[in-house]
Amino acid sequence: MLVINVKDGESIDKALRRYKNKHKKVQLTKELRRRKHFTKPSVERRVEILKAEYKAEKERNGEIK
């Protein structure tokens, strides 16, 4: 849970901006989306391998610089 203490004389806009930055750094949304559906470890590994093969193929063809 993120807690933002509003300082004396601080505007709500500044506090909201600090909250948004903190939220982005913690990557809360990314973690919630990841946990939404369970993915088997074998499937995760297979996806990583396919990504690596795709990148290697692109690099071999000179498409990635």
Each residue's pLDDT tens digit, 5-62: 888 888 989 999 998 888 888 888 888 888 898 999 999 999 999 999 999 999 988 8
The candidate with the shortest Cα–Cα distance to 19, out of 6, 34, 33, 35, is 6
**pLDDT confidence of residue 3:** 84
Provide the residue ranges of all domains of the chain, joining segments of one domain with +. 12-60
Q: CB–CB of 6/19 below 8 Å? A: no
Q: CB neighbours of 58 closer than 8 A, spacing ≥ 6? A: 64
- Please tell me the pTM assigned to this model: 0.46
Cα gap 44→41, rounded to integer Å = 5
**pLDDT confidence of residue 56:** 94
The candidate with the shortest Cα–Cα distance to 42, out of 30, 34, 50, is 50
**pLDDT confidence of residue 53:** 96
The SS3 assignment for 31 reads helix
**pLDDT confidence of residue 50:** 97
